[in-house]
Structure 1
Amino acid sequence: MRGQAAFIPLGATSTAFNGRGVHTRPSSCLPLPSLPVPAFPYVPSVITAVAAKPRADSSPPKKLSKVEGLKVSSNQLRFPLAEQLQNDEIFITENAVQIMKFHGSYQQDDRDKRASGQQKKYQFMLRLKMPAGEFPAALYQALDDISTKYGNNTLRATTRCAWQIHGVLKSDLKPVFSAIMNAGGSCIGACGDLSRNVMCTPAPLTSELYKNARFVSAMLGELFAPQTGAFSEIWLDGEKAASLEFWKKDLDMNSVQEIMRFDNGNGVVYNGKEEPIYGETYLPRKFKIGVTVPGDNSIDIYTQDIGIVCIPDAAGKVVGYNIIVGGGMGRTHRKATTFARTGDHLGYVPADKLWEACKAIVAAQRDHGNRSVRANARMKYLVDKLGIDSFRTLVETYFGEPFESFREIQPWRYMDWLGWHEQGDGNLFLGLFIENGRIKDEADFKLRTALRRIIDAYEFDMVVSPNQNIILKNITPNQKNGIEAILKEHNVRTADEYLINKRLSMACPAMPLCGLAITEAERVMPDMVARMDTLFKKNGLDVPVTIRMTGCPNGCARPYMAELGLVGSGQKSYQLWLGGCPHQTRLAWPYLDRVKDVDLEGTLTPVLTMYQQKSTTGEAFGDFCHRMGKSDIATFAEHFNSAPIQVNGAPPTLTYEAPVKARTARKKSTAKPRPRLTVSDEIMERLKNIAALRDMSASRVADEIISAYLSGVEDEDLLGDEMVI
């Protein structure tokens, strides 16, 4: 029997890194000294723009995906969206859908509200851009009102520190967009082939280190914001918004424009273009940036296209930044050319070189990313193809100088920042657990009402965390009791009242609105966490386990980093991933391609028995699976017998033994005949030849070929984008 691992929220790992910045030896949930939070009066310097030679647009690739052509013909994201918003249809065409994404919205279909064969129940999801997840009380009030008047009476916190509003009809898009913009918010650049919302550690600590991380997030959010006038033209009739976006109030916007348009002569910017960094075709695919401080891995830093770590000197002054590149979660089932990937250590830059370094990385992806096959268009594939050393050399041709060596930092720890904390200025902040990010009222659980009462009464500014939770900040100590009273009145529990595995869980929205969802995620996750908790306890285990679930393989809830990941692979079926690190620095691996929902307990019982019997004291579940590996776990499971066995009067325990194989009579199938597909004699003969060579049935060969073809069509012809960040 193994010792029980006590959960310590800020527990440390014993960490060694290989070239890709991932764990190479097991970690444990043992305590570390508290994270130092030095103070320093520092803001990175601004680069002054100078004249530089103009740069011609890069030659387009020989073969462009359909979306690339749409971007070119859109006149900087204007057409055909502008015209289609004027007609009486309840939907927009697929071509307009692709342009609409850049405006921060997806067209969706509520599959719960229509029967098969009926017209789709079209509606739209709007996603906000919120660098570092921060937003003022007034914007939350506006979003809550919009959700009541135009949406589905809920708000959804995303896994990239932003809000989503669901259920908006096409006829209401313009008033909703304009209401958000006039309240100081924005959806511009929240989706589409550009840099999306910049994540940041959500802790509103007032130390200069954390303040610098938030400043960098806001700067990068604005540095890579699209510059086209299409947004104000379409949603505000060309007028300016009544209120400046809230994050811009702390930025020198003239300096931002100078930095954006500064041309170092190495082909980073397009002079004289409406989009100086993006040009006419923007980026090959979505681009994600995250910023944090040493040790605080609340943002899953190795999943970012660019991960930035603020590096202070001994006196606490930020003197530079470590940069990680090439992370990303999205993949496609049965398509080996797509995969989840953790980022590599690119290097270190002094503080005053950060903006140009990031511009150089974006330019390298812009010019060298795959614009022919969207399934392979993310920067992770470029980094993986070239290798980190060659990719670094490529970026240096744009940057104009070499990167310094990656600075050694303290081990990473997953930090959810839930519960009560001191900010450092005499005030408090409160991290509230929001199950799967959904702000709603349900039965006697009145989360939405409670939050609105708190915001109306106290006008707290807030933060959406990378884990779909929210933080109320700038709370004076004498306001604490009043807040807790409102929460209790509405049956909203504080973080310490939740089981730890629920706190660690995360799921994407999936059904019924996400067009890519194969099966459920958000709606079944509460029951799934309860089932897994019961299963662990049944097997004598009381340990924290990070569980994440998505309804498709795009990975919006980052399941490939979880200790136990469930990825939709069929109706009520999931691909099972094991072996991620509890501190989110290592990829999990696929244990089984498809497990029926009802079979999960039976499938996991052998794994948990092996964990109970063979893990070391304090060893986390994910670290154990990583240490044992897929082969050993599969072998154990193959010979596992779940029947309780009593030995010498001892209490029954689960064990394993080689099963006795016996012939059983085959039952007559009562299943309905499977659909048939007719092919020509020539195609059938070719399928048989391939089947013979691969020792497979012809039907299986046909299934794999058709699946691969359909995946390619979806990727190239518009359907392969994530719906949720």
Structure 2
Amino acid sequence: MSTDAPKLSPVEGFKDESRYLRGTIPDELKADTDHFGKGDLQLLKFHGTYQQDDRDSRKSPGGKSYSFMIRTRIPSGVLTSEQFLAHLDLCDEFGNSTMKLTTRQAIQLHGVPKTDLKTTIARINECGLSTLAACGDVNRNVMSCPAKRSDSIHDEIQSTALALAMHLAPRTISYRQCWLVDDETGEKQLLQDEKAPEEVEPIYGKTYLPRKFKIGIALPEDNCIDVYTQDLGLIAVVRDGKLIGYNFTVGGGMGTTPSAAKTFPALGKRMAFVKSEDVLKVAEAVVIVQRDHGNREDRKIARLKYLIADWGVEKFRAAVEKQFGAPLDDCTEDDVHGFDDHMGWQDQGDGKWSYGLNVENGRLSDGPERQWKACFREICGELKPEIRLTSHQSAILCDIAPDDKPKLIEILKKHGIPVSEEVSTVRRWSMACVGLPTCGLSITESERALPGMIDELEAPLAKLGLDKDAFTIRMTGCPNGCARPYNADIGLVGKAKGKYTVFVGGALLGNRLNYIFRDLVPAEEVTSTLVSVFTAYKNYRQESETLGDFCARVGKEELEKLCTASA
């Protein structure tokens, strides 16, 4: 039997030689180039930024035009008006004048040139936030229900999300060296090379995790963060009005590579009940087991879901218990059973109101018809709400006094922004990833294509009497699944240039995977394909059956027949 050591992926080598994520980033920042070298490209992700190029201009005489996407980590999506305004300033001063609210309750700035990268990241830190671990092979932004309520439960889960984010953040000083001190000071600081990994990174070690890791916290009555799509999901368990702990789920993840049968989307599996006081230590144990046993040879199968598929949840739980140092209890019967997107007016319970504002695909820009940024600037300047970002790329404006409710609506209408009550149900429950032109993985259009498709769907849905039915439509420009398309009622996934795979049969609740209905559907035929599904649903659904439930019940072959019969 061969005793040769496994051949690790090249990224593992970059991490191993990086001096705890420092690499040559400080030197590259001083170099007179508009981009970074291959090794530092991987390390930059840990610092919260991706190098990108404008794919619309690749064939121009000047060749590739490089810039950077910067992502701010915002646990539970909670930030102040001042922090929100700071990001609007940065997108205008250094970016492409647009700001993106993400599917993980974070903020992305696009189009930042290399010369402004350090200043932009430093300014984000100056407003009390950070980009560290917003990307990379570490735990990323921790999600939780963002709703502001006077009850203690919401406060507790949001506090737990913050505690997890802080506990699982990288400890290396490289982030500070690269972005938050001047070059001379940074060079004089300890580089950490001679310290043992357990001293520098007690949780991650020298080479961090095999792949990215995501955590989300949900309430049984409100799975607005898609808990089953997380590597580690926490479902709150409440007894007599008190939060006593969480049911832990493990192994969720959306990304897949169609050409590699070994890859697949997965929903998390229920592992164990964890008392509130043990959450940080058990979460750490889950991360460490993945660190030590996740696949470091092939990044395509390096996520936790593949370790769970290989081991089974029982073996994985035993390894977590060993690392934690004590047995865990079985999950309680508590599970998700509701979903609130928090749009429109909602009573906080403290005498004030929140207003969920639907932001289509999360993109904030100013145009002739709608001035999103100017609108938010006026709202933040005059009403100073706390802002909570949702997992559907929208924003909740909190702490609105009853007397100020008309003022808020007046500001929205002044800037041409549709109030959430005027947004069609199908548009309200849709979302898309960034896609072209900036994402290097995108095969097809996504964010720029979905609004037009929704335009085409609104009239047929109204004619069918389905315009009030809630179902999720999620589009991604590639199979990586950043907009979580594989558990949606309808998923549209870029498969080839101008063509999509159409998935159906997921659930609004997010606890069921969908299946492929049609493959390689040209962009111009996507809406007619969906209308045929809606028509079959209208004609053959059972009483109170949702779109996803209908498609899951009848299956692909029968759905094809019903679509034909309904034509």
Superposition TM-score tier, normalisation by shorter sequence: over 0.9
Instruction: Tell me which residue corresponds to 1:562.
Output: 488
Alignment of 1:182-201 (within 5 A): 182-201=126-145
- Which residue of 543, 547, 558 corresponds with 1:617? 543
Contact kept in structure 2, 1:329 and 1:558, CA below 8 Å: yes
The CA RMSD over aligned residues, in Å, is 1.9
Instruction: Tell me which residue corresponds to 1:668.
Output: none
Moved more, 290-299 or 359-368: 290-299
CA distance in 2, matches of 1:613, 1:418: 30
> What secondary structure sits across from 1:586 in the alignment?
coil
CA distance in 1, matches of 2:253, 2:413: 39
Q: Which amino acid aligns with 1:129?
A: R
TM-superposed deviation, 1:82: 2.1
CA distance in 2, matches of 1:414, 1:612: 23
Q: Which amino acid aligns with 2:151?
A: S
CA distance in 1, matches of 2:296, 2:58: 36
CA distance in 2, matches of 1:190, 1:540: 42
- Which residue of 42, 47, 53 corresponds with 1:103? 47
What TM-score, normalized to structure 1? 0.74
Instruction: Tell me which residue corresponds to 1:44.
Output: none
TM-superposed deviation, 1:118: 4.5
- Which residue of 422, 444, 450 corresponds with 1:497? 422
Alignment deviations for residues 376-411 of structure 1 (CA, whole Å, 9 cap, x no partner)? 000011111111112111211111222211112265
CA distance in 2, matches of 1:367, 1:385: 14
Alignment of 1:299-698 (within 5 A): 299-314=225-240, 316-409=241-334, 411-539=336-464, 541-542=466-467, 543-637=469-563, 640=564, 654=566
- Which residue of 223, 231, 235 corresponds with 2:175? 231
- Which residue of 149, 162, 169 corresponds with 2:93? 149
Instruction: Tell me which residue corresponds to 1:132.
Output: 76
Compared CA separation, residues 617 and 72, structure 1 to 2 (3 A): same
Contact kept in structure 1, 2:457 and 2:531, CA below 8 Å: no
TM-superposed deviation, 1:119: 1.9
TM-superposed deviation, 1:334: 2.3
TM-superposed deviation, 1:597: 1.1
Contact kept in structure 2, 1:535 and 1:601, CA below 8 Å: no
Q: Which amino acid aligns with 2:281?
A: E
CA distance in 1, matches of 2:465, 2:344: 28
Contact kept in structure 1, 2:485 and 2:492, CA below 8 Å: yes
- Greater CA radius of gyration, 1 or 2? 1
Alignment deviations for residues 197-251 of structure 1 (CA, whole Å, 9 cap, x no partner)? 0001010112111100000000000000111101111112269x9xxxxxxxxxx
Alignment deviations for residues 159-179 of structure 1 (CA, whole Å, 9 cap, x no partner)? 000000001000111111111
Contact kept in structure 2, 1:232 and 1:238, CA below 8 Å: no
Equivalences, count: 553
Contact kept in structure 1, 2:71 and 2:134, CA below 8 Å: yes
CA distance in 2, matches of 1:167, 1:285: 26
Compared CA separation, residues 601 and 133, structure 1 to 2 (3 A): closer
CA distance in 1, matches of 2:460, 2:316: 45
Moved more, 284-293 or 541-550: 541-550
Q: Which amino acid aligns with 1:519?
A: T
Compared CA separation, residues 126 and 469, structure 1 to 2 (3 A): same
Instruction: Tell me which residue corresponds to 1:723.
Output: none
CA distance in 1, matches of 2:300, 2:267: 17
Identity %: 40
CA distance in 1, matches of 2:24, 2:515: 42
TM-superposed deviation, 1:544: 2.8
Higher relative contact order (CA 8 A, sep 6+): 1
Q: Which amino acid aligns with 1:416?
A: D
CA distance in 2, matches of 1:309, 1:553: 27
Contact kept in structure 2, 1:322 and 1:347, CA below 8 Å: yes
Contact kept in structure 2, 1:132 and 1:217, CA below 8 Å: yes
Alignment deviations for residues 236-282 of structure 1 (CA, whole Å, 9 cap, x no partner)? 2269x9xxxxxxxxxxxxxxxxxxxxxxxxxxxx8852111001000
Contact kept in structure 2, 1:295 and 1:409, CA below 8 Å: no
CA distance in 2, matches of 1:535, 1:195: 42
> What secondary structure sits across from 2:456 in the alignment?
helix
CA distance in 2, matches of 1:60, 1:117: 48
> What secondary structure sits across from 2:270 in the alignment?
strand
Instruction: Tell me which residue corresponds to 1:29.
Output: none
Compared CA separation, residues 606 and 422, structure 1 to 2 (3 A): closer
Compared CA separation, residues 338 and 305, structure 1 to 2 (3 A): same
CA distance in 2, matches of 1:608, 1:477: 40
What residue ranges of structure 1 are gaps of 5+ in the alignment?
1-58, 242-269, 642-653, 656-725
